[in-house]
Amino acid sequence: LAFTMRMTEKCDVYSFGVVALEVLFGKHPGEYLLQLQSEGHDLLLVDVLDARLTLPSNTIAQEVVTAVILALACARVSPNARPAMNFVCQKLSAEAVVHPISEDFRSLTLQNLMNAL
């Protein structure tokens, strides 16, 4: 919206992604999103999650990963690369796993999660 001055459904998707990441990280995700766009900058998920919360257990960890994957996809720079909001709603309301955790939760990186969807 800031660059094109056109309101589209992708604006709402972006806003949802930013708010969701802010809830998960405990602060505005702008700094992290900029770092992800720079080559060579990767962050561990556990390092950016809200430090006031305890690390999630297995089932909750999977739900956190799903939420982060969807939020990162919504906050992509290119509006055309963002998912439709109805897709995001379906994934959040379904019991389906967006990206099964195949490694230790503590070793998951934002870059890998960003490319998971």
The answer to whether position 3 is within a domain reads no
Is residue 82 one of the residues assigned to a domain? yes
What is the tally of structural domains in the chain?
1
pLDDT value of residue 103: 75
Using CA atoms, how far apart are residues 112 and 55, in angstroms rounded to an integer?
19
Q: Say if 2 falls within a structural domain.
A: no
Kindly report, residue by residue over 69-90, the tens digit of the pLDDT.
Answer: 999 999 998 889 999 999 999 8
pLDDT score, position 49: 93
Choose among 59, 64, 78, 54: nearest CA to 110: 64
Which token pair is 14?
């972006």
Buried b (16+ CB within 10 A) or exposed e, 73-86: bbbbeebeebbeee
Task: Evaluate whether residue 83 is within a structural domain.
Answer: yes
Residue 110, domain extent: 9-114
